[in-house]
C-alpha cells in the first residue's frame, strides 16, 4: 500500500499535514526572498518566465537566474556567491566541460559537491579555490546575463545594472563563404544602444535580396547593454 495517501491538485503527499507544512515552508521562503529583493531590487536579474514571476513565487525553471540566486541565498550563500554558483550550475547543466574548463579544473569537484543538497561551507570554499574557473564561466557564458550583477556584488557598487537588449542583424555569405552584414537599400546598419532590432519587417528585407542571397540568408542576434543613463 502506498505511503502517499493525500492528494492535492494531482500531487500525492504522505498526509494533509505534510502538504500544509510544505505550503507553509514555501510561503515563509517566498516572504524571505521578497524581503531580500525589496531591500535591493536592482541587484537581482529578472525571472526567465514569461511573464516574469516575482521573488516570492517559484517559476520552476531550472535555469532561472533570479530564483536560483534566491534559493542559494536561502541556503546560506552570500549574494556574490549565489550569483556565481547559479552561473556554474547553469554551465554544468548545458555545457559542463571544455578545454578551458578542463584546464582550469574544478568541475569534477563541483559535481561531487552538488550531487546531493548543497553544502554551503564546502561550496563556498570551492568558489574561493576555483575563482579563475568561475571568472571564465561568468565572462564567456554569462556575460549577457549575470556578469554585471556579479561585478556589482563584488564591488558593493550602487551603479545600476544595465538592461540587456537584443539587436538582430541580417547576414549573407560572401564569396569566401563568410557571413557579412547585409545592407538593404536606404537602411544603413546603424545600431544605437536603445534599439532592439534594426529591421522589424523581415519579408520586406528579403525582397531586396537576390535569390542567391536569400538562399544563404540568416539572422544574427547579438545581445548588448542598454545603460539606464
Which pLDDT score is estimated for 9?
A: 80
Q: Is residue 108 part of a domain?
A: yes
Asked if residue 189 and residue 110 are part of one domain, the reply reads no
Confidence of residue 168 (pLDDT cuts 50, 70, 90): confident
Distances (CA, A) of 158 to 45, 211, 217: 15, 52, 43
Q: How do residues 77-93 score in pLDDT, each as one tens digit?
A: 999 999 999 999 989 88
* Domain termination residue (choose one: 103, 138, 155): 155
Does residue 198 surpass a pLDDT of 60?
A: no
Is the predicted pLDDT of residue 134 greater than 90, yes or no?
yes
- Could you tell me what percent of the chain has a pLDDT over 70? 84
176 and 117 part of one domain: no
Q: Tell me: do 207 and 116 sit in the same domain.
A: no
| Structural domain contains residue 115 | yes
Same structural domain, 93 and 26: yes
Answer yes or no: are the C-beta atoms of 138 and 147 closer than 8 Å: yes
Structural domain includes residue 150: yes
Tell me if 8 is assigned to some domain. no
Q: Averaged over 84-107, what is the pLDDT? A: 89
Over residues 10-48, the pLDDT tens digits come to 788 888 888 899 899 999 999 999 999 999 999 999 998
Identify whether 127 is part of a domain: yes
Residues 169 and 144 in one domain: no
Are residue 35 and residue 116 in the same domain, yes or no? Answer: yes
pLDDT at 193 over 80: no
**Average pLDDT of the chain?**
83
| 212-220: Cβ within 8 A, 24+ apart | 213/172, 213/182, 216/172, 216/173, 217/170, 217/171, 217/172, 217/182, 218/170, 218/171, 218/172, 218/179, 219/168, 219/169, 219/170, 219/171, 220/168, 220/169, 220/170, 220/171, 220/179
What are the cell numbers at 101? 574548463
Domain count, the chain: 2
Q: Which of 67, 3, 64, 61 is nearest to 33 (CA)?
A: 67
Pair (123, 195) in one structural domain: no
- Mean pLDDT is highest, among 19-23, 80-84, 143-147, 216-220, for 80-84
Domain identity same for 222 and 148: no
Predicted pLDDT of residue 1? 47
pLDDT at 136: 93
Question: Which of 125, 155, 185 is at the close of a domain?
Answer: 155
- Regarding pTM above 0.85, the answer is no
Shared domain for 83 and 192, answered yes or no, is no
Q: What is the mean pLDDT of residues 134-142?
A: 89
Specify whether 101 is located in the same domain as 214. Answer: no
Q: What pLDDT sits at residue 188?
A: 54
In a domain, 2, yes or no: no
Q: How many residues does the chain have?
A: 229
Residues 32 and 117 in one domain: yes
- Is 135 found in the same domain as 59? yes
* Lowest mean pLDDT, pick from 66-75, 163-172, 199-208: 199-208
Does some domain include residue 75? yes
Domain end residue (candidates: 155, 181, 205) = 155
Is residue 4 one of the residues assigned to a domain? no
For 177, the domain range is: 163-226
Separation CA 65–CA 46 (nearest Å) = 7
Amino acid at each position: 500500500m502506498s505511503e502517499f495517501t493525500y492528494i492535492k491538485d494531482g500531487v500525492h503527499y504522505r498526509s494533509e499535514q505534510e502538504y500544509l507544512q510544505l505550503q507553509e515552508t514555501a510561503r515563509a521562503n517566498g516572504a524571505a526572498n521578497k524581503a531580500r529583493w525589496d531591500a535591493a531590487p536592482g541587484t537581482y536579474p529578472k525571472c526567465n518566465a514569461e511573464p516574469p514571476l516575482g521573488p516570492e513565487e517559484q517559476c520552476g525553471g531550472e535555469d532561472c537566474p533570479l530564483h536560483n540566486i534566491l534559493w542559494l541565498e536561502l541556503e546560506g550563500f552570500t549574494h556574490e556567491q549565489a550569483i556565481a554558483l547559479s552561473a556554474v550550475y547553469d554551465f554544468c547543466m548545458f555545457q559542463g566541460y571544455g578545454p578551458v574548463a578542463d584546464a582550469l579544473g574544478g568541475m569534477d569537484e563541483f559535481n561531487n559537491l552538488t550531487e546531493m543538497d548543497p553544502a554551503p561551507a564546502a561550496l563556498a570554499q570551492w568558489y574561493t579555490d576555483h575563482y579563475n574557473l568561475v571568472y571564465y564561466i561568468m565572462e564567456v557564458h554569462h556575460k549577457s546575463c549575470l556578469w554585471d550583477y556579479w561585478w556589482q556584488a563584488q564591488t558593493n557598487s550602487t551603479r545600476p545594472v544595465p538592461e540587456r537588449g537584443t539587436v538582430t542583424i541580417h547576414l549573407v555569405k560572401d564569396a569566401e563563404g563568410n557571413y557579412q552584414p547585409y545592407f538593404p537599400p536606404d537602411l544603413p546598419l546603424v545600431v544605437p544602444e536603445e534599439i532592439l532590432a534594426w529591421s522589424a519587417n523581415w519579408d520586406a528585407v528579403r525582397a531586396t535580396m537576390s535569390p542567391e542571397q536569400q538562399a544563404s540568408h540568416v539572422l544574427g542576434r547579438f545581445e548588448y547593454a542598454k545603460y539606464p543613463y
